[in-house]
Amino acid sequence: MSSFRFSRLFFVALITACAASGALAAGKAKTKPSKPAAPALPSLVWRGDYATARGVVDDVSKAWEKSGKGRIDVQPFNTASGLDAVAHGLADVAGSARGSAGGTESDLVFTPVAFDALVMITHPSNSVPNLTVKQLHDIYFGKITNWKDVGGKDAPIDLYAVASPGDGVEYSLRRLIFGRGNQPVAAPRLYVNTTKLEEAVTLDPNALGVTTLSGVAANTKVRMVNVDGVHPSLATVSDGSYLLYTPLYLVTNRNNPKTAQIQAFMEFLHTDQVKALARQHQLVPYTDAPQLAENDKARREKLLAENGIPMPDEPAPAPAPETTPVAAPGATYAAGAAAAPTSEQTLAAKQAMDVRNSTDAVATTASPTASQTHTVTKGDTLSTIAKKYSVTVAQLKSWNHLSSDNLKLDQVLQVSGN
């Protein structure tokens, strides 16, 4: 290659490199400086029961964030964990299906946001269409233990409940049918929250438990049972004909440093957008149904009168652990409770179950009461008698040479093998 040709190629390459370098420099000069990252949206922590989470908070938190006002960190578990978290500054807002029970909760602010229905659920295969308030009272009190006594098949009623004595759904139902929310009941199958209870009911043809309309309205794996002939729905709660309704509350702490942000969120709940979301979940916006709040005392008096209970003069007492043995052993407490947010009330509930189970285990091996016979009275069944004397139906049939479950008034039964 001649020196002239080499020089020419070198010169062309040099010109090309310079042009490319100039174009790159020009490109850099035209590039606009990047905008600084937008500041993170302010965040609130919500914790509470699944009933309020599914019925109000999940969709509302998305709408709140979409509006650009902030974020809601939703942490559903149960009522007691939410109230404790707000009281101790670990959460900003709690969800509860009941109002304040007094005591340490009196320092918290309970704001009702919607009405939900307390609904009795069973397995879809269960044929019982309706229960009266009196029957519910007797089932929870352990007086009715067989589905045939309420028009169903001859099978035990497996009553399910939430373990925590301060659970919003359980507390509100018991307050309506017993006059006090901390009434011990004959429910040996206990779960950590309503979601776990609902899952259990889907597996048991003999199951019965309480949850909320907003939680199971679209759940085809369970069936809602009418109460006093009225089907739970948005319409029957709105007009007050379905009597087992309860307010859903959002609970805050007066001393929270995020007061302004919390107040803005609470005001957002009264917008038409949020009210529409509530109705989609079968909830009645609280401010749209003042008559339900106004008629609360009258409907409670009616419900208690059906069960022969006078209206209490004082507010319902604070919930306490259920230490009275009222049912056979077999309670189940979700394994996740140990790792999930918990509280003194939740732990007390588990301890109460342990006490009850150990006491019941002793009772099942102990001899019956001093009386060795039982005289049949109105309403007695083999199941209720067996429960009363801590024996089995099979034993009663064997000791009394019974070929069926039929009993006669004043019939005298042996209740022990002695």
Question: Could you give the CA distance from residue 142 to residue 111 in angstroms, rounded to a whole number?
Answer: 35
For residue 260, is pLDDT > 50? yes
* Residue given tokens 């230490």 in the structure block: 323
Indicate if 235 and 152 belong to the same structural domain. yes
Residue 15 lies in a domain: no
In the numeric block, which tokens belong to residue 81? 């964990």
DSSP class of residue 181?
T
Indicate if 232 and 141 belong to the same structural domain. yes
Question: Could you give the CA distance from residue 232 to residue 298 in angstroms, rounded to a whole number?
Answer: 19
Question: Could you give the CA distance from residue 296 to residue 196 in angstroms, rounded to a whole number?
Answer: 30
Residue 7 lies in a domain: no
For residue 340, is pLDDT > 70? no
Indicate if 303 and 182 belong to the same structural domain. yes
Indicate if 207 and 141 belong to the same structural domain. yes
How far, rounded to the nearest angstrom, does the alpha carbon of residue 97 sit from its chain's CA centroid? 8
Contact 251, 110 (CB under 8 A): yes
pLDDT band at residue 40 under the 50/70/90 scheme: low
Residue 25 lies in a domain: no
Determine the average pLDDT of the residues in 329-335.
32
Question: Could you give the CA distance from residue 134 to residue 307 in angstroms, rounded to a whole number?
Answer: 5
Indicate if 330 and 301 belong to the same structural domain. yes
In the numeric block, which tokens belong to residue 241? 């004909």
* Three-state secondary structure readout of 263-303: HHHHHHCCCHHHHHHHHHCCCEEHHHCHHHHHCHHHHHHHH
Task: Considering only the C-alpha atoms of the chain, give the largest distance between any 2 of them, rounded to a whole number of Å.
Answer: 131
Q: What are the DSSP calls for 368-411, one per residue?
A: --S--EEE--TT--HHHHHHHTT--HHHHHHHTT-SSS---TT-
Q: Minimal CA–CA distance to 156: which of 368, 333, 384?
A: 384
In the numeric block, which tokens belong to residue 6? 């080499």
Indicate if 221 and 339 belong to the same structural domain. yes
What is the domain extent for residue 125?
117-244+296-362
Crossing angle of the two packed helices 259-268 and 58-66, in degrees rounded to 10: 110
Higher-pLDDT residue of 418 and 44 is 44
Mean pLDDT, rounded, of the chain: 79
pTM of the entire predicted model: 0.67
Residue 336: which residues within 8 A CB-CB, separation 6 or more? 192
Residue 33 lies in a domain: no
Please count the structural domains in the chain. Answer: 3
Residue 311 falls in which region: left (phi positive, over 0), alpha (psi -120 to 50) or beta = beta
Residue 115 falls in which region: left (phi positive, over 0), alpha (psi -120 to 50) or beta = beta
CATH number at residue 400: 3.10.350.10
Indicate if 48 and 127 belong to the same structural domain. no
Q: Say what the pLDDT of residue 298 is.
A: 94
Contact 57, 72 (CB under 8 A): yes
pLDDT in tens, 112-134: 999 999 999 999 999 999 999 99
Indicate if 185 and 220 belong to the same structural domain. yes
Count of other CB atoms within 10 angstroms of residue 33: 5
Residue 340 lies in a domain: yes
Alpha-helical regions (H) of 118-193? 133-140, 168-178
Indicate if 169 and 283 belong to the same structural domain. no
Question: Could you give the CA distance from residue 225 to residue 126 in angstroms, rounded to a whole number?
Answer: 10
Q: Say what the pLDDT of residue 169 is.
A: 94
Q: Say what the pLDDT of residue 417 is.
A: 63
Count of other CB atoms within 10 angstroms of residue 251: 26
Count of other CB atoms within 10 angstroms of residue 143: 18
CATH number at residue 303: 3.40.190.10
Determine the average pLDDT of the residues in 154-167.
90
pLDDT band at residue 72 under the 50/70/90 scheme: very high
Residue 11 lies in a domain: no
Indicate if 211 and 329 belong to the same structural domain. yes
* 3-state DSSP percent of the chain in helix, strand and coil, to 5: 40, 20, 40
Residue 368 lies in a domain: no
Indicate if 225 and 324 belong to the same structural domain. yes
Q: Say what the pLDDT of residue 359 is.
A: 39
Indicate if 277 and 402 belong to the same structural domain. no
Determine the average pLDDT of the residues in 307-329.
52
- Among residues 274, 294, 314, the one where a domain terminates is 294
- The full length of the chain comes to 418
Residue 10 lies in a domain: no
